[in-house]
Amino acid sequence: MFVSHNESVKSFISKSLPNVEELKKGIKLFQSAYKFNGDLKQIFEKDRHFEKLVEQKEIDQMKTENKFFKFIVEEEL
């Protein structure tokens, strides 16, 4: 699975697997709610962090709409 530059989510997962659409929607929600700052290649860079792009109440609403988004957000980022 990957997210392209135009924010479409492509999947090579079999459509017969459960929750593929839930997974795609959760990734899109995460992408709209957070921005990554820093360099992914630099493991020890201190300025690597996620920045919220929306208010917390919107994130809370997204968590009720999508189980995968809730899982991602509740994990320590």
To the nearest whole percent, how much of the chain has pLDDT over 70? 73
pLDDT band at 18 (very low <50, low <70, confident <90, very high): low
Question: Could you tell me the two tokens for 50?
Answer: 């996620």
To the nearest whole percent, how much of the chain has pLDDT over 90? 36
3-state secondary structure 18-59: CCHHHHHHHHHHHHHHEEEECCCCCCCCCCCEEEECCCHHHH
Question: Could you tell me the two tokens for 66?
Answer: 């999508």
Which pTM does this prediction carry?
A: 0.68
Distance CA 75, CA 30 (A): 12
Mean per-residue pLDDT for 34-60?
Answer: 86
Contact assessment for residue 76 and residue 70, using Cβ atoms and an 8 Å cutoff: no
